[in-house]
Amino acid sequence: MTFTAPAIPSHGVGGTTACPHCASIQTTPAGQASVLACRNCGAELERRAGRTIDAAFAAASGTFLLLFPANGLVFLQTAIVGTTRHSYLASGAFELWREGWPALAILVLLVLVVLPFVRFGLLSLVLGCLCLDLRPAWLGMAFRVADALQVWAMVDVGLLALWIAFTRLSATVPTTLGPGGLCFVAAAILALLTRATLNKAAVWRAVSSPPPVDLGAPLLACEACRLVAPSSRAAEPCPRCQTTLRPRLSGGVRRAAAFTAAGVILYAPANLFPMATVPIGLEASRYTVLEGVKDLFAARLYGLGLLVFSASFAIPLVKLLGMSWLIGSVAAHSRRWLILKTRLYAVVEEIGRWSMVDPLVIALFVPVIQFNAKLYGRAEPAATAFAGVVVLTMLGTQVFDPRLLWDAAQDRS
Ligand SMILES: [Zn+2]
Ligand SMILES: [Zn+2]
């Protein structure tokens, strides 16, 4: 297997960057092009238009500050004839724990409460330092951690879950969004805005500009910050973000295959067993993923039904099939459809986290629907299995290095 990345010469003088999708290393033009695309695979390397460090700092710190009232104030409130129930953002996790679903409870607490604080706290700190022109030694490492948490801090997915939970609850009992819920909605919108204004490549350049490299020599790229360094520096820490420099993720295909296979095994129980019990027409009923979609269509909530069908049924299936194809392609040293497969990987990596919406709906729903023997809600076995599929496929995508697709094709030629 060859680890030498092909260098693509260019007339530009902006700097050297590595495409994280294919194996190419290329110089980037210094001009103000709004979008920079890889000249080998066409994937987007950097989007500059409308993105500044100041705007990203404002959005990230706004998100971080709003997370405090979103967690501390009443989130949802329900009422029927003189009885009220109210919840906080973390109530769902505690309720799931109490009902005997500790793994799901911990996962919900992490993605909805703990990791958003860590990601947006670190992001505010890093961007704030850059706005003040401060560059402490830990800056690169802090940004690397904040960036890695992007997929796991699910404030945006939580917003979608809140919309679905609120619509479903309102169909059964009068429901109001508390001040905590309103702050959460605002935090989620600012989180989306953070993503839209954050130019990661520009942040990395602001943290430190890498020294020029000889494009004729064997090179490698840091997997976290894309810093390009001579291959002789493999196994040393990256001077910018402290990740150990290595040509490719070691054992990535084997680990990705293991995570994907485990996801396939859990996919059957996740779809065959009931996800949750919810009151429908003042009667407790258990539903599976597809029955939940059917109920939404029956209630004429077509948009919502389509959304839940995509997030809970289609996306996990596309992910499992897509990852199996990519892993098989590397193993078979396939040279076909490299660009299509590179795009597929980017799509699978991007959409996978949205499947967490169904378990999050259950977590938001359950604490405020505990009224009597008929009017109650609780998680059922498939909720844990389903969340397991989502986490395993996300891990499978993260440990898979798409550059191996291009290496494998090169090996054969
Ligand atoms: Zn590329
Ligand atoms: Zn690095």
The string of pLDDT tens digits covering residues 191-248 is: 999 999 999 989 999 998 877 888 788 888 898 898 888 888 888 999 999 999 988 7
| Nearest ligand to the C-alpha atom of residue 39 | 1
**Which of 48-52, 62-66, 151-155 has the weakest average pLDDT?**
48-52
Ligand 2 centre and the CA of 408: distance in Å?
A: 24
Ligand 2 centre and the CA of 229: distance in Å?
A: 10
Ligand 1 centre and the CA of 363: distance in Å?
A: 39
Ligand 2 centre and the CA of 240: distance in Å?
A: 5
Q: For the chain, give every domain's residue range.
A: 1-49+212-247, 51-209, 250-413
Q: If you write DSSP's letter for every residue of 140-156 in order, what string do you get? A: HHHHHHHHHTTTT--HH
| Nearest ligand to the C-alpha atom of residue 228 | 2
> Count of alpha carbons within 13 Å of 155, Cβ hemisphere only?
33
For residue 404 the two structure tokens come to 């191996």
Has domain 250-413 been given CATH number 1.20.140?
Answer: yes
Ligand 2 centre and the CA of 222: distance in Å?
A: 5
Average pLDDT, the chain: 88
Is 1 a residue whose pLDDT tops 60? no
Ligand 2 centre and the CA of 404: distance in Å?
A: 19
| Runs of H (alpha helix) within 198-314 | 200-207, 252-272, 289-298, 302-309
| Nearest ligand to the C-alpha atom of residue 5 | 1
Ligand 2 centre and the CA of 8: distance in Å?
A: 21
Per-residue pLDDT tens digits for 110-156: 999 999 999 999 999 999 999 999 999 999 999 999 999 999 999 99
Contact 241, 225 (CB under 8 A): yes
Q: Output the pTM of the full model.
A: 0.90
Ligand 1 centre and the CA of 320: distance in Å?
A: 23
Ligand 1 centre and the CA of 19: distance in Å?
A: 5
Ligand 1 centre and the CA of 14: distance in Å?
A: 17
